[in-house]
Amino acid sequence: MLAKKPEQFRAPPRPDDRFVRIVKALQARAPAHQKNDQAQRLLSKSPADAKALAQAAALADEARRLAPDEALFEVTAGEVAYARGSGDRGRAHFERALALQAKAGVARGHWKTFFYLGALDVDAKKGASAAASLAKATALFPDNPIAHYYLGRARELEGKKQDAAKEYQLVLDLAPQESALAQKSQERLAALQGPPPK
Higher pLDDT, 64 or 2: 64
**Residue 143 is which amino acid?**
D
Average pLDDT on 92-96 reads: 96
Residue 160: band (very low, low, confident or very high) from pLDDT cuts 50, 70, 90: very high
Neighbours of 11 (CB within 10 A): 8
Cα angle 52, 53, 56 (rounded to 5 degrees) comes to 90
pLDDT at residue number 128: 97
> Are 30-109 and 127-198 equal in CATH topology?
yes
Q: Could you give the CA distance from residue 129 to residue 127 in angstroms, rounded to a whole number?
A: 6
Residue 19: band (very low, low, confident or very high) from pLDDT cuts 50, 70, 90: confident
pLDDT at residue number 22: 84
Contact between 46 and 12 under an 8 Å Cβ cutoff? The reply is no
Q: What is the reported pTM?
A: 0.84
Higher pLDDT, 5 or 78: 78
> What are the boundaries of each domain within the chain?
30-109, 127-198
In CATH terms, 127-198 corresponds, of 1.25.40.10, 2.130.10.10, 3.40.50.300, 2.40.160.40, to 1.25.40.10
Q: Each residue of 101-136: pLDDT tens digit?
A: 989 887 677 899 999 999 999 999 999 999 999 999
pLDDT at residue number 113: 95
pLDDT at residue number 34: 97
Rg of the chain over CA atoms, in angstroms?
22
CATH 1.25.40 fits 30-109, yes or no: yes
Residue 177: band (very low, low, confident or very high) from pLDDT cuts 50, 70, 90: very high
The DSSP call for residue 7 is G
Q: Could you give the CA distance from residue 35 to residue 30 in angstroms, rounded to a whole number?
A: 9
Mean pLDDT rounded to a whole number for the chain: 91
Q: Each residue of 23-62: pLDDT tens digit?
A: 888 888 899 999 999 999 999 998 889 999 999 999 999 9
